[in-house]
């Protein structure tokens, strides 16, 4: 899937809580966006453009029935916290967070405003959600990798490159459970 298509999908997901009211209410809905990139970042700008495009496809037009409040943190933890608090104070209907640090800052600022995240690394392990299947709380979103399938990655790697040696200590340090099918072949495993 191309990056632009992915971001459009994220935009659509962020708008889901608002879809029912898109044509029903004269009220302008407020969407906060906490970007982890700098305001002049080309990729970040492309993501915002795709987000706007996705909203428009769902019937949301900026200035008519939706308002976007966008903050750019450039990866600065202090700005993450400052802008998270600022966005929450604006009482948005939903907030889109673009990385794990922005999600963390938003969850400190609110436990009631819905948060949709993109690019979060291990949202379960980070405590953003209870599980991927049933997130609970006020956050939900998309992950780039499901680390629960890392053992399968090892099996596939071993199948593709039979000469690869698996280091158990390194795998455990990375939180990877080595599949028993690989452990059975002790000559291919370093303890």
Please spell the DSSP secondary structure of 17-59, one letter per residue: HHHTTTTT-SSPEEEEEEESS-TT-HHHHHHHHHHHHHHHHTT
For residues 160 and 148, the model is more confident at 160
E-state strands within the chain: 29-35, 66-72, 94-97, 115-120, 139-143, 166-167, 189-190
For the chain, list the domains and their CATH numbers. 3-145 (3.40.50.2300), 148-190 (no CATH)
**CA gap 185, 59 in Å, rounded:** 57
3-state class (DSSP) for residue 76: coil
**pLDDT tens digits, residue range 3-50?**
555 555 555 555 555 554 455 568 899 999 999 999 999 999 999 999
The burial class, CB within 10 Å (0-12 / 13-18 / 19+), for 150 is middle
85-110 residue pLDDT tens? 999 999 999 999 999 999 999 999 99
Question: Closest by alpha carbon to 68, among 96, 43, 47?
Answer: 96
Residue 139's nearest CA partner among 154, 125, 129, 150 is 129
pLDDT tens profile 108-121:
999 999 999 988 88
End-to-end CA distance of the chain: 38
The residues with which 31 forms a beta bridge, in sequence order, are 68, 94
CA distance 76 to 74: 5
| Structural contact between residues 87 and 32, judged by C-beta atoms closer than 8 angstroms | yes
């Amino acid at each position: 899937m191309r990056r632009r298509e992915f971001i459009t999908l994220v935009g659509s997901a962020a708008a889901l809580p608002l879809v029912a009211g898109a044509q029903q209410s004269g009220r302008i809905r407020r969407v906060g966006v906490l970007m982890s990139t700098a305001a002049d970042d080309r990729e970040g700008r492309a993501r915002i453009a795709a987000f706007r495009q996705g909203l428009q496809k769902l019937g949301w037009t900026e200035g008519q029935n939706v308002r976007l409040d966008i903050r750019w943190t450039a990866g600065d933890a202090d700005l993450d916290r400052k802008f998270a608090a600022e966005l929450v104070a604006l009482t948005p209907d939903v907030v889109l967070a673009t990385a794990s640090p922005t999600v963390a800052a938003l969850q400190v600022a609110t436990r009631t405003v819905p948060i949709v995240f993109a690019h979060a690394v291990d949202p379960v392990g980070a405590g953003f959600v209870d599980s991927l299947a049933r997130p609970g709380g006020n956050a939900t979103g998309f992950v780039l990798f499901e680390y629960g399938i890392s053992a399968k990655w090892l099996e596939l790697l071993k199948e593709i490159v039979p000469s690869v040696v698996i280091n158990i200590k390194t795998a455990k340090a990375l939180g990877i459970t080595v599949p028993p099918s690989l452990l059975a072949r002790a000559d291919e495993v370093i303890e």
